[in-house]
Chain A
Amino acid sequence: DAKTTQPPSMDCAEGRAANLPCNHSTISGNEYVYWYRQIHSQGPQYIIHGLKNNETNEMASLIITEDRKSSTLILPHATLRDTAVYYCIVRVATLQGAQKLVFGQGTRLTINP
């Protein structure tokens, strides 16, 4: 199973871009990188995912390095509501085809006013 490494915590000022790094040096060629976040006492929320190309949606942008060994999640204009634990996950396939998401410790992002 591919592992991911994230900083345990980060701070960002409100209105600024929050850049969350993730290392996944053992990722396989067909494994996607997923990002979720979890606000205290709630279920994880899907943010974005990608394989090779950079991706953007209404929530964030995902930048994946050319060698795919690392990625960065960018929240372009962070708000106080973006304070959460952010998880970088490499999808792990189970034997019967249903994907298993392996959540690590994540990065606790705090947005400061």
Chain B
Amino acid sequence: SQTIHQWPATLVQPVGSPLSLECTVEGTSNPNLYWYRQAAGRGLQLLFYSVGIGQISSEVPQNLSASRPQDRQFILSSKKLLLSDSGFYLCAWAWTVDQPQHFGDGTRLSIL
């Protein structure tokens, strides 16, 4: 079976500090990978998606970047965090574009 792991579960960072959130998927190959952000009391916003190694597409301009160094690894990064980067960050995977997305347990990021 397939599993998706995200870490850390919670993170508190000062404004201006760097960020690296990691997501890995097991039990599948060449999945579609997604990063979403959920602000408090709001729906999910798609940030980045990837259909293969080294392929990253951004949905919204922002202070964040994403990379996919390996087939089943998806990393969300920032060089300098802003207060507005606070939120619940979720990674998801899907077999193909036509298949359901399956989410990890998320990282709750607080910026002080």
- Chain B positions within 8 Å of A106 at CB level: 43
Inter-subunit contact B103/A45 (CB<8 Å): yes
Stretch from A13-21, A63-71, A89-97 that touches the partner: A89-97
Stretch from B11-19, B61-69, B72-80, B93-101 that touches the partner: B93-101
Partner of A100, one of B6, B59, B100, B104: B59
Inter-subunit contact A104/B101 (CB<8 Å): no
State whether the Cβ of A2 lies closer than 8 Å to any Cβ in chain B: no
Most chain A CB atoms below 10 A, which of B59, B98, B101 = B101
Number of A-B contacts (CB under 8 A): 57
Inter-subunit contact B51/A98 (CB<8 Å): yes
Contact with A along B16-52 (1 / 0, CB 8 A): 0000000000000000101000100001101001110
**Assembled-state Cα–Cα distance A95/B59 (Å):** 10
19 residue pairs of the A-B complex, CB under 8 angstroms, read: A44-B103, A45-B103, A46-B101, A46-B102, A46-B103, A93-B97, A94-B49, A97-B97, A98-B34, A98-B49, A98-B50, A98-B51, A99-B32, A100-B49, A100-B59, A101-B44, A101-B101, A102-B43, A103-B44
Contact with B along A41-76 (1 / 0, CB 8 A): 111111001000000000000000000000000000
